Structure 1
């Protein structure tokens, strides 16, 4: 058993309409699935990804309309990376972010890669990372109808950063339970200890977790602009069953196997309280919509279909801006 990389990252927004505008019109990602939180159908669950929503390209958002401000801190997924094809793409994005008055830190370098940190309109902490020299997990393919040129478009998720008060507990789960490998380290300008890098599968930008240790920070108070969980890729349901056995043997409280219709999942919290998900690569978002029509209408899994009228009555359109 070996996790194949990052599957998706799920975050929180207070306004689905503004969120849709930012991620489709400014970042040029495709809305591949417009659905609801299956555990609370009163709220949107929006999936932005590459052309067909390949595993490893999905950045998703729950709309929680009363979500307050995020107070950044420990025990958190503190940054999400978005892959772009090359260093030249970062220059394009720097100009585009300036054009739309998006807060950013300018182009820099992290772990031997060119990067461009920025924030969305709600303070979501993001960073473009260049795949110029990537030799690991393959990237996705930007949507041909994106407002962003395909040569510079977002191709998937890059490394996620975890901020924790103590390295050892989370490191043990990553390496001894989930099978990640220690891949190196680099200086952290925000702390006294180096950032530690762990990788899985074929490695590279699509399969890394970066660990930041900041003991002095208080625990993060999540809200709009925070990340809810990170999911890692599992080949299929049979392998997910084996992961369930392993997680249970470790006595880690978990959700058990959950059918999300577009993939199957297993959720658990590691010792620093961060929510991890293991999710299968398939069956995929074209299970109930053709690839060319992804995200155009409200998609509901079969067990919610009988409540469609009630659910739609409580949701506002995201496309009108």
Structure 2
């Protein structure tokens, strides 16, 4: 799987270099991004789609269980000193992007301790065996220590833990043991995946949002590319005021409408909330588009049509699915 991610990254980087400052990025990059996200989400998708099995009904094969975990030994985590039955700890130095201010982890040191554990539900108990457990779907505890003299000396500590009594979900391969019972083991194509109810509910809602908005995302992609590469071009003079409004006015209006939506009720609340959310989302999507189109000296008529395609598709998606999206947030 890591090799696959590396190949995808290399191919994506290659396309980016070849097409940098080219309008063909608008057609290619979304497809690459969609493929990358799909591969990165395969485990989450399988986890959400797999139904729970009670321990007394386990049969040989891939299963998903939910229950309380226990283990005979306890460990103390390196940084936060938490008592647990398994942990993943990472210590990393931070470096910062001078333009965006974003931080990146470098020189990471990882320390892990795991052991076989038992998971129990109301129907029984079963052993879970693995050389290591993937805890990336569990909550993380983080502390960042800042050095006021040298930014490169900033350090981030992160820990994920399994504790006695935690209620978790375990997905893995069930096989018969020497006692004619079953245990959960790790196989090359069936790693042991651990999560909890919070992660699964959050992921399920995210997938539902994507499912609701997917038709409008496809509509946006097709309409934008139509005006970019196939539609007749009309020669409009460029209006710098509209460009500035697209960069700065749209997000400001989005914030204003979003605030108004929180202060009113009934239909005005729906109107301002939908419009505010649409403008904020459109500003995020169109900011890199506008930059690229202006740099490549695209016709102003095409720029306006592309912006309107993004706006209309987003407005349709959010307004038609507003009730469903609101229910997911509750």
Q: Which has the higher contact order (CA 8 A, sep 6+)?
A: 1
Q: TM-score, normalised by structure 1?
A: 0.20
Q: TM-score, normalised by structure 2?
A: 0.19
More strand by share: 1
Q: Which has the larger radius of gyration?
A: 2
